[in-house]
A = this chain, B = another copy of it.
């Protein structure tokens, strides 16, 4: 007696006999059949026992004989529905939250570029009517909210109402894109705190999301050596270093973090190494444990404090040596 499992039940058979005993599933529901299918996929040992059979059983007639379906039409239609349900489940489970983060970060970058570009265009056009206006952060919202400001200009051309209506609605569109940016940032924030609490704690949400995006996913980031994380985003400088005598890059996109960009030049290499190794630990913790471990951040702060302390002592020593020189 051997047994093989198929999507609608188990077949028991005796070698050489060519006859089957069928044990059907209890319920003929798509969700039940889908789960069975998935468990069969995870449990590939059946494939072996099927290959041992001399003749492959005719599953359609077995299903009809056992009363599982009434016709081959019903068999194939049910098979189709179940296999679609299986695909959809697989697609859903492959769409992990880090994939969503990647998509959101890329969209955020697109929107940043778009908003900057269109704001410049609006500024140029609006400048016909109000050349005194400064191009700052609030420029777009000022135009979209108070179109009359063009009429207050002392230097610009006198606008007609149509010009102003057009420019105002253009400014409103740009404002909407700005709000969309905030909505996407909030989305990233939420996903990051559930998927990558440790990375978020160390790097901040946006930089953390960018690191996940650049590496292609949390799993990839978790398996990267700290040195790669350190120079991620500086691939061009890295290639130049490998090709020529240019110095190796000290940091990639992690430079956007204040811990690096506010540090004195001479300490940046050291801090970047320390920071990247904490990031690497944070990524592994996020991927394998999935919970916030506050120790990582605590230790990082300690180490960076130590780097600054050592540096201060060294600077003092150098200064006193210089004084003795005089």
- Residues of B with C-beta under 8 A to A157: 88, 91-92, 94-95
The listed residue (B92, B170, B180) touching A180 by CB distance below 8 A is: B170
B87 touches A155 (CB 8 A): yes
> Which chain B residue lies CB-closest to A94?
B157
Beta-carbon contacts under 8 Å, A61-93 to B:
84, 87-88, 91-92
The answer to whether the Cβ of A106 comes within 8 Å of any Cβ in the partner chain is yes
Stretch of A121-129, A208-216, A315-323 on the interface side = A121-129
In the complex, chain B residues whose CB is within 8 Å of the CB of A106: 121
A28 within 8 A of B: no
Contact of A95 among B107, B110, B128 (CB under 8 A): B128
Q: Which residue of B lies closest to A99 (CB)?
A: B128
CB A131 to nearest CB in B, in angstroms, measures: 8
CB distance from A50 to the nearest CB of B (A): 28
Contacts of A303 in B (CB 8 A): none
Interface membership of A135, Cβ < 8 A: no
How far, in Å, is A216 (CB) from chain B's closest CB? 15
Q: Give A114-156 interface residues, CB cut-off 8 Å to B.
A: 114, 117-118, 121, 124-125, 128, 131, 153-156
Stretch in A8-16, A161-169, A255-263, A264-272 touching the partner: A161-169
**Bound Cα distance A192, B91 (Å):** 52
How near does chain B come to A223, taking the closest CB pair, in angstroms? 24
CB of A281 within 8 Å of the partner chain: no
Q: Are A118 and B125 in contact (CB under 8 A)?
A: no
Would B176 and A92 count as touching, CB distance under 8 A? no
Beyond the given A88-B154, A107-B125, A162-B190, please list 10 additional residue pairs across the A-B interface where CB-CB is below 8 A: A84-B155, A88-B158, A92-B156, A99-B128, A103-B124, A114-B114, A166-B184, A173-B176, A173-B177, A176-B176
> What are 7 of the A-B contact pairs (CB < 8 Å)?
A84-B154, A88-B155, A95-B157, A100-B163, A103-B128, A114-B117, A176-B176
